[in-house]
Chain A
Amino acid sequence: KAGVTQTPRYLIKTRGQQVTLSCSPISGHRSVSWYQQTPGQGLQFLFEYFSETQRNKGNFPGRFSGRQFSNSRSEMNVSTLELGDSALYLCASSLDTRTLGTQYFGPGTRLTVL
């Protein structure tokens, strides 16, 4: 079974621009979560989607948003990019038969903001 895929793998943007990252979960997985990884802040939870609904949200500004489609694929969007948004963005999917489920990660998207 194919793993979690993320596109693109690398992105370079300038301050003020916006960016959209995509995540395709493992087939059959209905929950998709997003995390930001930086050297200074470590791994931080952004949000989680299940059945096209945002079920949980981390402590990030409104510039960070996401959505999930009927096929469980998810996108996250960052508007008005800042230098501090440079990070590895990781997507994870889980079966989510209950509220706890093992999350499997994709390879990440490395975003650089200049």
Chain B
Amino acid sequence: AQTVTQSQPEMSVQEAETVTLSCTYDTSENNYYLFWYKQPPSRQMILVIRQEAYKQQNATENRFSVNFQKAAKSFSLKISDSQLGDTAMYFCAFMAENKLIFGTGTLLAVQP
């Protein structure tokens, strides 16, 4: 069975600092995508970043970047220069057969 594990239920970071959220997954698939979504208090699920498993280069989107270790099945998210608007629940998700499997989420609080 495919599973996604986020071992940090809550994290806190000071504004302008850098924080890393962890995610591991388990699958026997060779072709898949990995995602980070954020869900702020408004509850709208927003795509943060995407990584295709066949690409060795780590994805980046402005202040957001990932560390994708395929052999270790690890997919962490780094947020640089944290902003108050980054406060949200962050979900790591694995996709195969057009179905997303989510982790339990990490609640990130950015402190002023």
Contact = CB atoms under 8 A, between A and B. Distances in A.
B102 A103 contact: no
A33 B98 contact: yes
Interface residues of B, number: 24
Interface in B25-57: 31-33, 35, 37, 42-47, 50
Contacts, number: 59
A42 B102 contact: yes
Given A48-B99, A102-B33, A42 B105 contact: yes
Summarize A's interface: helix, strand, loop or mixed.
strand
Interface stretch (A17-25, A64-72, A75-83, A104-112): A104-112
B35 A107 contact: no
Interface of B: 31-33, 35, 37, 42-47, 50, 91, 95-105
Contacts of A63: none
20 contacts: A33-B98, A33-B100, A42-B104, A50-B98, A55-B98, A56-B99, A88-B43, A92-B100, A94-B98, A96-B98, A100-B31, A100-B33, A100-B98, A104-B47, A105-B44, A105-B45, A105-B46, A105-B47, A107-B42, A108-B45
Contacts of A42: 102-105
Nearest to B42: A107
Interface of A: 31, 33, 35, 42-43, 45, 48, 50, 55-56, 58, 88, 90, 92, 94, 96, 99-108, 110
A48 B98 contact: yes
Given A100-B31, A108-B43, A43 B98 contact: no
B32 A107 contact: no
Given A45-B100, A108-B44, A110-B43, 7 more contacts: A33-B100, A45-B101, A50-B98, A56-B97, A92-B100, A101-B98, A102-B33
